Structure 1
Amino acid sequence: MSQTRLTLISHPLCPFVQRVAIVLHEKGIAFERVNVDLHDKPDWFLAISPTGKVPLLKVLHADGCESVLFESVAICEYFEDLQPKPALHPQDALLRAQHRAWIEFTSVALSDAWGLLNATDHETARAKAAAFRKKLEQFEAEMSDGPYFAGKSFSMVDAVMAPIFRYFDILDFDFEPTHHVFDGLRRVANWRLALARRSSIQAAVTQDYATWLREHLREKEALLATV
């Protein structure tokens, strides 16, 4: 890695960017971060992003050539292959495949959580809260006693789930459609707390992240912007 320079193309709110940043911090890999305005995407960004989304990873090689990776899971897997220690996947092939499946499941949970955050009416908020609660119940039944998803070792599943929990650590979800989301889920509650305390997760966002999030919700006129 000493012969390459890494630039993470980012947006301050993007949870998928956070996944990559967490893995980079876990691996101790140095990188630069460049934010783009997703409401006014620059031409240079559109020229290198097949989906027009973040994250992108620019890899500047020692010979001056540049490679670009897109999609957060692909980028995270690249770093796992490139620098196997500390390992973020189990060594056992079956367990590794199971973890990858739960990573996909986490993306669905993220969709429900994001829908809950951005709900502008109570009916939508209730539906998204119920859907997200069901995902958490499935995690509760699957995971170990922690503190992390698979026990004492931090894994890629933890890295991709952490940005979701961050929403609930910042915002006040204690209003009627949403305040029962975490009730009775002891393992999930302990997992959430352990992730919030981890330095790589804290470092994955800028200090003004909460401000960005609240401003986004105000712009969307979300219910959560009023509580």
Structure 2
Amino acid sequence: MSTEKCFANGSATPGPVPKGHIRLYSMRFCPFAQRTRLVLNAKGITYDTVNIHLKDKPDWFLEKNPLGLVPTLETPAGEVIYESPITCEYLDEVYPEKKLLPSSPFAKAQQKMMLEHFSKVIPYFYKIPTGRKNGEDVSGLEADLKEKFAKLNACLVNKKTKFFGGDSITMIDYMMWPWFERAEAYQFKQFLDGTPELKKWTELMLQDSAVKAIMFSPDAHKAFFKTFLDGNPDFDYGL
């Protein structure tokens, strides 16, 4: 796991991407960038990491990715790829060892459709803690999130598989995992009690070598998330 401090505006431009490597522009606590880190680690790809200060982005980074978002990949040839699903699919195609996406077009489409469904879940991980902090009534949002967890649980029940793509980890599992790693920090862990198959899935994911290689403890997530909610995120927390 990279422990490099983030690059802010005014920082020197990193040198060229070494031959035989790929570079990941990231932020240590970003769940979207974690998707790409999981795929890089699962596939055993040699990469280096440049962490970006997302509140004070370097001009040189904005030249590479005008959206200023992480994850962003850069190849030794200067090719730049961004948006987490796109970076992950790119890595799976360019590094064909240990394929994470299914070869069947229909099975691949199923994973992409499931990802679209999961994208509707993600906002709740931010709306609910923000609402709690502001003293708002978030019971309706919590009920909605529990319902969405129940649907994910039903998906596993109907499939009769350990993971969302089968009995081994595939791309969709890595795409969903970062938010569940943060469930305790966001005070959502108790919501999993009513979804036994989903809870079992989280326990199996915690045993995965790629997950273990880059994960943070619940306390670290909690500490960073507090700075995020306070409006002054400490991107270098713990360094």
TM-score, normalised to structure 2, is: 0.78
Query: Paired residue for 1:46?
Result: 62
- Partner of 1:34, secondary structure, is strand
Q: 1:11·1:35 contact (CA, 8 Å) conserved in 2? A: yes
1:80/1:123 CA distance change after superposition, 3 Å: same
Residue 138 of structure 1 deviates from its aligned partner by: 1.6
1:18/1:124 CA distance change after superposition, 3 Å: farther
- Partner of 1:32, secondary structure, is strand
Is structure 2 residue 38 aligned with structure 1 residue 25? Answer: no
1:213/1:121 CA distance change after superposition, 3 Å: closer
CA distance in structure 2 between the aligned counterparts of 1:191 and 1:38, rounded to whole angstroms: 31
Q: 1:55·1:71 contact (CA, 8 Å) conserved in 2? A: yes
Residue 31 of structure 1 deviates from its aligned partner by: 0.8
Select 1:191's aligned residue among 181, 201, 224.
Answer: 201
CA distance in structure 2 between the aligned counterparts of 1:88 and 1:188, rounded to whole angstroms: 20
1:202/1:118 CA distance change after superposition, 3 Å: farther
5+ residue gaps, structure 1, are 221-227
CA distance in structure 2 between the aligned counterparts of 1:76 and 1:27, rounded to whole angstroms: 11
Which has the bigger relative contact order, CA under 8 A and spacing at least 6? 1
CA distance in structure 2 between the aligned counterparts of 1:20 and 1:124, rounded to whole angstroms: 35
1:46/1:197 CA distance change after superposition, 3 Å: same
Query: Paired residue for 1:8?
Result: 24
Residue 219 of structure 1 deviates from its aligned partner by: 4.2
CA distance in structure 1 between the aligned counterparts of 2:110 and 2:188, rounded to whole angstroms: 31
Is structure 2 residue 83 aligned with structure 1 residue 85? Answer: no
Q: 2:20·2:46 contact (CA, 8 Å) conserved in 1? A: no
TM-score, normalised to structure 1, is: 0.82
Residue 134 of structure 1 deviates from its aligned partner by: 2.2
CA distance in structure 2 between the aligned counterparts of 1:132 and 1:24, rounded to whole angstroms: 30
CA distance in structure 2 between the aligned counterparts of 1:50 and 1:4, rounded to whole angstroms: 26
Code of the residue aligned with 2:141 in structure 1: it is: K
Residue 82 of structure 1 deviates from its aligned partner by: 1.4
Could you tell me the percent identity over the aligned residues?
29
* RMSD value, Cα: 2.3
CA distance in structure 2 between the aligned counterparts of 1:4 and 1:127, rounded to whole angstroms: 50
Select 1:112's aligned residue among 124, 127, 137.
Answer: 124
Query: Paired residue for 2:148?
Result: 135
Query: Paired residue for 1:151?
Result: 166
Deviation by residue 1:144-184 (Cα, 9 ceiling, x = unmatched): 3443213321011100111010111445447xxxx4x2232
